[in-house]
Structure formats: C-alpha cells, structure tokens
A = this chain, B = another copy of it.
Amino acid sequence: MRLSQIADAVSGGLEGEDLEISGINTLTDAEPGQISFLSNPIYKKFLAGTKASAVIVDRKQTSIDRPVIRTDNPYHATLKVVKLFYPEPEPIIEGVHPSAVIASSADIGRNVGIAAGAVIGENVVIGDSTAIGANAVIESGSVIGSNTRIHAGVIVRHSVKIGDRVIIHPGAVIGAEGFGFAPIEGHFQKIPQVGTVIIEDDADIGANTCIDRAFLGATRIGKGVKLDNLIQIAHNVEIGDNTVIAAQTGIAGSTRIGKGVMMGGQVGITGHIEISDGIQIGAQSGVSKNFPPGTTIFGYPARPIMETKRIEASLKRLPELLRQVADLKKSVNALIKD
C-alpha cells in the first residue's frame, strides 16, 4: 500500500515521498517499510529513533527527516490504518473439529466454528456464525447468540444466557456457583445457587474473569459492557449498559452498577449497594456507598476525587504538622505562664 493511499483513507495530508508501506507498528517496534504514529505526546521522545519509514502525526508536529501524514486526530487515523492492514485481526475457527464433543441434543447454528477439544453439553443452543475455541466447555442448557466468540479454555456453566456479538476471552468462568454460605453452628452450609448469568449483546469479558451465577434470578451483564481480565463479579450483581471496568476489579454480591460507569483496575465495590450512572472510579478505590450520577471518585475509602487529592496533599505535611502543634503548645503554655 502506498502512503498516498493511506493518506486518502484517513483524510490526511502526505508530506514527503510516496513510499510503499508494508504495515503499521509503534514507534519503538516499527521496522523500515512500516508506518508508525504519534498520538500520545509522551511518546514524542521515541520519534527521533524510530525505524519507521513514515509517521502519522497531528497538524502541529514539526517536520521530521521522513514522510509524514498529517491528520486532525492521529489516534483515529491510526485505528483506520490498522483496519486497512488487518481486515481480519483474529484467526477464524472454521467448521467443527472432529475431536470436539457435542451432545446430540445441542442445537448448533449455521456457520458455527468449534475448535479441537471443545465440549458442548446437552441442550446447548449456539447461534449462527459463533465460534467456540479449543478446549472450551459449554455446559448443559446454556444458550449462546450469534456472531459471538467464546475463546479457548473458557468455561460456561449450565443454563447461562449469552447474547450476540459477545467476546469471552480465554480462561473466563461464567456461571460458577456464587459464594453463599449460611453459618450453622460454627461451620458454613452451602446455599444452593440456582439462578443464572445473563450476558447481553456486544459485551466483552476478559481473560480469567469470573462471573458467578445468581442465588436466584440472574447476575446480569448489560449491553456493550467491557470487562477486562481477572475481574470478579459476584452473584446477583447487575451491570448497566456500556459500563467499562479495568482489570482485577471485584464487585461483591447483589450490587447494581449503573450505565456508562467507568472503573479503573483493582477497584473493590462492597455488596448490596448501587452505583449511579456515569460514575467514574479511580484505580484501587474501595467503594462502600453511592455518589451522585457522573461523580468522579477515588481513594480508599472512595471520596470525590478532589477531596481525596486534598487529603493526600495534606498527608505529606502531617509529620511536620505534629511537630508544629507540639511547638505551638510550648509557646502557648509559655504565654499562659507569663
């Protein structure tokens, strides 16, 4: 592909020679023949040393010693170029591998790919054009929509519902029994977890993330929700549409997360509370109560972010403050004795 073609595709302006370009890569990893990009200014330091033959830059970037494509938004332009070079970013699973084990009562749609070693239980329903990765397990009675991708090693337990265009990354566990025990005379008796999990359309579930089935009713992951890796979603949690949660966050039982919420990594949310729509939660926060819709909160315990930042700034001065107050006490005592 020529630079001029790329410039056209991203509505950008080419400055320099119209080279043949073989691919796209980061500034540090690009090789001669590839194009790179500068969208986040903190990577400007890598511009001089890149081996890329051309770079996508914004309108203000000064010229460099090789061709550039200037655009209003280098990030969006880069995404377009990625799709030019990788129209199909993931390998396709085609057909049903003979080593897959599929119950005779399963209802498998058209154009479904099932990779080696996958196990599909009794009465499972799989929609058209869905793919199941190698050694994944779909237990009895679960229903999976169309154009969904269940990656290798995923475990979907029984009677779970997964929508269309959902992606579940390797090792995720959907529908394990919730953590429910009733204390009976010093030990804990298991509470049967007879509910289910419902994952709605266009959700994305990260690698080794766990979504437990409900005690009764359903643990519910809304439309377009994006969960990163190693997240814990306890029983009866509900997550509103288009909420995005970063890795290693945990949400305790029966909590309801609103729509369009954004959480950083390693956040913990206590059980049986509500989180309003559009709340943003900083990484590693501990949240045990709700805030107004759209609030940005942060800290352990989580507070509105400006309050946490003021406290943090004050904390640094706390040891000195203790000394100042001790000095003040002496001065005041001396004044009183005068």
**What is the interface of chain A, defined by CB distance below 8 A to chain B?**
24-26, 28-30, 40, 42, 75-76, 79, 82-83, 85-86, 89-91, 97, 99, 101, 115-117, 119, 121, 133-135, 137, 139-141, 151-153, 155, 157-158, 167, 169-171, 173, 176-177, 179, 181-182, 186-188, 190-195, 202, 204, 206-208, 210, 212, 214-218, 224, 226, 228-230, 232, 234, 236, 241-242, 244, 246-248, 250, 252, 260, 265-266, 268, 270, 272, 283-284, 286, 300-301, 303, 307, 310-319, 321-322, 324-325, 328-329, 331-332, 335-336
Residue pair B169, A152 in contact (C-beta under 8 Å): no
**What distance in Å separates the Cβ of A166 from its nearest Cβ neighbour in chain B?**
12
- Chain B residues in 8 Å Cβ range of A134: 101, 119, 121, 137, 139
- Chain B residues in 8 Å Cβ range of A332: 328, 331-332, 335
**What distance in Å separates the Cβ of A10 from its nearest Cβ neighbour in chain B?**
14
Residue pair B318, A318 in contact (C-beta under 8 Å): yes
Residue pair A286, B283 in contact (C-beta under 8 Å): yes
Number of copies: 3
Residue pair B226, A210 in contact (C-beta under 8 Å): no
Residue pair B319, A272 in contact (C-beta under 8 Å): no
Residue pair B307, A312 in contact (C-beta under 8 Å): no
Known: A79-B182, A216-B29, A321-B325. A97 touches B101 (CB 8 A): yes
How many angstroms from the CA of A85 to the CA of B192 in the assembled complex?
A: 11
8 tightest A-B CB contacts, nearest first: A29-B217, A89-B192, A155-B170, A26-B217, A101-B116, A173-B207, A232-B247, A176-B207
4 more contacts with CB within 8 A, not counting A29-B218, A153-B153, A314-B319, are: A25-B195, A176-B229, A248-B268, A321-B325
Known: A169-B177, A176-B151, A250-B266. A207 touches B206 (CB 8 A): no
- Chain B residues in 8 Å Cβ range of A208: 171, 173, 208, 210, 230
- Chain B residues in 8 Å Cβ range of A270: 283
Residue pair A319, B310 in contact (C-beta under 8 Å): yes
**What distance in Å separates the Cβ of A32 from its nearest Cβ neighbour in chain B?**
15
How many angstroms from the CA of A258 to the CA of B33 in the assembled complex?
A: 29
Closest-by-CB residue of B relative to A192 is: B89
Residue pair B272, A42 in contact (C-beta under 8 Å): yes
**What distance in Å separates the Cβ of A113 from its nearest Cβ neighbour in chain B?**
13
Interface hub of A170, A193, A208, A247 (most chain B Cβ within 10 A): A170
How many angstroms from the CA of A23 to the CA of B285 in the assembled complex?
A: 39
Known: A169-B173, A321-B322. A139 touches B152 (CB 8 A): yes
Residue pair B252, A265 in contact (C-beta under 8 Å): yes
How many angstroms from the CA of A246 to the CA of B186 in the assembled complex?
A: 18
How many angstroms from the CA of A10 to the CA of B319 in the assembled complex?
A: 50
Residue pair B217, A210 in contact (C-beta under 8 Å): no
Residue pair B230, A232 in contact (C-beta under 8 Å): yes
- Chain B residues in 8 Å Cβ range of A301: 312
Name A226's contact: one of B157, B170, B181, B286 (CB within 8 Å). B181
Known: A24-B216, A206-B179. A155 touches B155 (CB 8 A): no
Name A265's contact: one of B170, B181, B232, B336 (CB within 8 Å). B232
